Amino acid sequence: MNPTRPPKNTRTEPLTLKERLAALNNLPAFFKLVWQTSPTFTIINALLRLLRSAMPVALLFVGKLIIDNVVTLSRHHDTNTSHLWQLVGLEFALAILTDGLSRATTLVDALLGDLFSNHTSVKIMEHAAILDLDQFEDSVFYDKLERARQQTIGRTMLLSQVMAQVQDLITMGFLAAGLMAFNPWLIILLLIAIIPAFLGESYFNDQSYALTRGQTPERRELDYIRYLGASDETAKEVKIFDLSGFIIDRFRQLSGKFYLDNKRLSIKRSLWGTFFAMMGSMGYYAAYVVIIIKAVDGSVTIGMLAFLAGSFRQLRSLLEGILSRFTSVSQGAIYLRDFFEFFDIKPKIKPAANPLPFPKVIQQGFVFEDVGFKYANSDRWANRHLSFTLYPGEKLALVGENGAGKTTLVKLLARLYDPTEGRILLDGEDLRDYDLTDLRFNVGIIFQDYLRYQMTFAQNIAVGNISQIDNRPLIEASAKQSLADILAAKLPDAYDQQLGKRFAQGVELSGGEWQKVALARAYMRNAQLLILDEPTSALDARAEYAVFERFAELTKGRSAVLISHRFSTVRMADRILVLEKGELIEIGSHQELILKNGRYAELFNLQAMGYR
């Protein structure tokens, strides 16, 4: 496991206004993503909102005309009401249109939201696919990945908010024009009443963002604990070790801490929000009084009174919404930074400018020249001063205690890592100069912690060469080579049998059965180098020996690296490389190392004593 330090300098303090405004620079890239998701829906959304922006003003104005017409008819006892009913019909049509536009906008927002979530999820997976293995083993990277994942859901809410801002600003322009023609001071009074609420909302949004960002590592732990407490994969050990109490207590501790932090912030926000809302109401009613006085002295008609009062009320509501939404938009833009920060992470293992094709037949083999590797954020070398040759067609076994650097070494061979120092040559050329995809296709590797895919039996094997997922003869041949074909014959649906208990009709396999399925993946490609990193640990000694004996027979003419703690298997290799604390201390055949009476002989004799 990669030893990493906890992330340092995790920012928890609120961001400044300047930083929030700077975060708006993320919006162009965001809209580019939205446009890429669906140009059609983006255009439709903009047009619908443009039409909606004119509806409030139109309704208020028609309402004014209706009231004035009613007053006129009443004063003059006029019975010709045709114009009045035309106005009522027009208002009814506008109301229906407003409702239709609102529902259409909601529909388009929802559809665009689903598409955007899918589009960004795919982009995250595509970017994750090009990043390096050691980056996935770093806690700081995982925090960024988790925050990026969170942004794939609900980020179109930001689109809705920005579009709503534009829509409301246009509406405000129409309403403000009417109020300013009547009395410009009403607008100033409105602003004075609303701005404190905006500043308060902005402050508490900043506090909320800082709190959420600071909780990211602990929230990942909370999700992990929730998984431990209720999962088919963990249930066995949780029961046998009676861990449920410990897990539940830890969950309560973390979730309780989050609750108290959020509670304190929510109470403050609610109290100050009430105060600022009261200030806004005072401003509204002060302006309302002014309008009423003007109506009483005959300066404006009753219809104009309704229009102005309605305009001011809607202006206040719109302005509150715009200022509050501005804070949310800037806040959303800050969260977008988390999303784009993930895409700023670049792989350290980069394809060569002019890549060499992998040799059709390896001539000289792999040569390690003083190779060392150290994980990021670690002071300890996982491997150091490795100098040896893996010859064409050679079977090389790696031996050493846990943590000796065996798995790291094979990851260097497959170029899952690049050496921190030194270099690895393949037929005299630096491994970095070869085509990366071609290289990894020619290196078949099965790790001890292989995945148990909740897929069919055939699909579980096909992941070894996914391009051949429909090649049933190859899948069945690979299963036969790993002895998994015997298992397939016993299953109700054979190669189409669903494995695992996650989905209906799934069948769970034993550890040894799963390992035979995983081993079949190694035979799915005609790789020139095959690596087995303790994938048979769940098999008994006799079964493991049979698997490796078959493996040696099937890989004649190809290079192979074997990692096993069982020396009955290790001695089958042409040579054995002994690692201690990441460094090579011995290399040679079984007989040579026994005669040398060094570390290998000591380990071999210790294990042999256990069988006596």
Burial 215-225, CB ≥16 within 10 A → b, else e: bbbebeebeeb
Reference 45, options 164, 191, 192; nearest CA is 164
The answer to whether residue 269 scores a pLDDT higher than 60 is yes
Q: Mean pLDDT over all residues of the chain?
A: 81
Residue with tokens 């390896």: 362
Q: How confident is the model at residue 476 (pLDDT cuts 50, 70, 90)?
A: very high
Q: Which domains does the chain have, with CATH numbers?
A: 17-344 (1.20.1560.10), 358-442+527-612 (3.40.50.300), 452-522 (no CATH)
| Pair of tokens at residue 482 | 């790993």
Q: Side chain identity at 147, as an amino acid letter?
A: R
Distance set, CA 479 to CA 313, 538, 569 (Å)? 74, 18, 21
Q: What is the 3-state secondary structure (H, E, C) of 58-69?
A: HHHHHHHHHHHH
Q: What is the pLDDT of residue 459?
A: 92
Q: Judge whether residue 11 has pLDDT over 70.
A: no
Closest CA to 305 of 171, 170, 183, 172: 183
Separation CA 532–CA 191 (nearest Å): 71
Tokens of 374: 């150290």
Residue carrying structure tokens 């006596």: 612
Residue 4 — pLDDT band, cuts 50, 70, 90? very low
Q: How confident is the model at residue 419 (pLDDT cuts 50, 70, 90)?
A: very high
- Separation between Cα atoms, residue 487 and residue 516, nearest integer Å: 9
The type of residue at 177 is A
- Rounded alpha-carbon distances, angstroms, from residue 31 to 43, 117, 163: 12, 14, 11
Q: Encode pLDDT of 293-322 as tens digits.
A: 877 877 778 887 788 778 777 877 787 777
Confidence of residue 373 (pLDDT cuts 50, 70, 90): very high
Please tell me the predicted confidence (pLDDT) of residue 265: 84
Query: Of 22-26, 96-100, 237-241, 428-432, which range is least confident?
Result: 237-241
Confidence of residue 3 (pLDDT cuts 50, 70, 90): very low
pTM (whole model) above 0.75: no
Contact 532, 446 (CB under 8 A): yes
| Tokens (6 digits) for 31 | 């809209």
- Give the integer Cα–Cα distance in Å for 284 and 1: 63
pLDDT digits (tens, 9 = 90+) for 147-191: 777 666 656 677 788 888 888 888 888 777 767 766 676 777 667
- The dihedral region occupied by 534, where left means phi > 0, alpha psi between -120 and 50, and beta the remainder, is left
Residue 8 scores a pLDDT above 60: no
CB-side neighbour CA atoms (13 Å) of 82: 1
pLDDT tens-digit profile of 500-551? Answer: 887 778 888 887 788 889 888 888 888 889 888 876 665 666 776 776 777 7
Distance separating alpha carbons of residues 230 and 232, to the nearest angstrom? 7
The answer to whether 308 touches 291, Cβ cutoff 8 Å, is: yes
Average pLDDT over residues 380-397: 92
pLDDT on residue 383: 92
Burial of 173 (0-12, 13-18, 19+ CB in 10 A): exposed
Range in 16-30, 406-420, 427-441 with the lowest mean pLDDT: 16-30
Per the CB < 8 A criterion, the answer to whether 525 and 467 are in contact is: no
- Tokens representing 199 are 């500043």
The end-to-end CA distance of the chain, in Å, is 33
DSSP at 25: G
592 CB-near residues (< 8 Å, 6+ apart): none
